[in-house]
Amino acid sequence: MVCYDLTGWPGERPWSVECTSSEANLPRVAQNRKFAAMAGGDEKKTEELVAAAAKEGTRIMAEVGSLWYNFRGNSEETATRHTQVAMPNLVGSQVSLPEVRDSGGAWLMFAGTPEAHIMLPGR
């Protein structure tokens, strides 16, 4: 498990910690930080940079099946947890999950893209 403080980075909340279960994901983390800095913290611009990299084939992929934990908020006391499992370029039928939010179970978000990941309920 690799954890790092993102507090103060462009686009991050005042209290921001992220962890990934694989050191293989660190180049992707660096690319994410580069895009956030280039976009000046503007989330929409960051998403555009990510989409452009995917289209160009330069988007660094997360390790399939690796876990990502985020803990973000205005303070440690108000921060919310978010857990996801990386599934780059996979679709719901490949992981036996729906591609839309259902009644509280896990689902695959951004199916078929480099950003695809299993959303786990329970923030």
Flag whether pLDDT at 123 surpasses 70: no
Whole-model pTM: value is 0.86
Assess contact for 15 and 76: CB atoms under 8 A. Answer: yes
> pLDDT tens for residues 68-99?
999 999 999 999 999 999 999 999 999 999 99
pLDDT score at 102: 79
pLDDT score at 110: 94
In the beta sheet, which residues pair with residue 73? 15
> pLDDT tens for residues 31-58?
999 999 999 989 999 999 999 999 999 9
Strands (E), 8-78: 15-20, 67-73
Domain ranges of the chain: 2-119
